Structure 1
């Protein structure tokens, strides 16, 4: 029986976001943004354990109450200088529980609006897949390439283009090896691609947004409020 685990790298400082606290600890609907991201994974019935990877110097975690997340959560103070390093460190810590063929879902700390329906879509579409894949959304907007003066240098075709999201779900052994050999990508799928595999795209929607700038918090709160009304 294959098992499912999750890793959330949360060792970053969120320099583009600004503010005194790292981005993942910014308050969203009265709770740290990271708590919303972790709660979605801890609530998922098929995920057995969730590792959150924090910086060894993290001074914010202990300022909040995380007990509502339950027994699945395990805290690791082994974050690295980059996302891929934090994920790789989390994978090493997970070696006591995960086997090569088990599934690992890697999720952004700054995607607090992840729904159970999206997690179910990953499970349904990837559980028998030989490689794995990721949530993504087809690009709908017209894409412009700029020059050095920030003027339009050309219009890019959006045919076949998708915007990558998380979670990204791959076999434990495959992901561990891919990150060890190809650690320069911006996400886990990039490492899998560099290793010669073709991840599957699982269609999500724009509500699974990544909070990058302060204005994104208001949109995320609106999405969370709408989800709460539906859940009731």
Structure 2
């Protein structure tokens, strides 16, 4: 029986200015309200930026008795995902939260003025700290967080590609170590998608050197299933 009163729902509001996280805010608020009102049990919630947003996770993982929800937003960054995490993850109470975020923070390396370019170490500290805060928010509410590595890139027209990929490797190494310390799953997509040089994205997996197309997502889906089986998690 459908309730006649609306549930209390966390709505983080808009960030203001031109913020990618605002583009899906109203849709997610309405969808979250429906899920909560109907007390829908969610098995796997994918959350992150465009890599998640563009992934048709229902086709890859639906139809197996699991309820899959996608809360990716193209262009999102860790500070904004952290702010919306209570709304788009915690209050929905999924069994597992699959977190993939961070590459958009690194576009700060492309600032026009040299004085505006942050040190890679500063970006790494920010990204890892924000992700760990999300992990703790999930764990505190009985949700099992699954941390994912940032994907390698191969954007020939971007002068900071090499520096970005070095930073991504350092971030992933730290995320893996933190996940091991917390005894939570870590999915190292990077190791499955990286070229022979150990840094850049394999050719033929993304048209723009950043966003996987079906071949890239096929690899990611296999990698996710393989890594989760190590923890007796079936998706």
Same fold (TM over 0.5): no
Structure having the higher helix fraction is 2
- What is the TM-score with the length of structure 2 in the denominator? 0.29
Q: Which has the higher strand share?
A: 1
Give the TM-score normalised by the residue count of structure 1.
0.30
Q: Which has the higher contact order (CA 8 A, sep 6+)?
A: 1
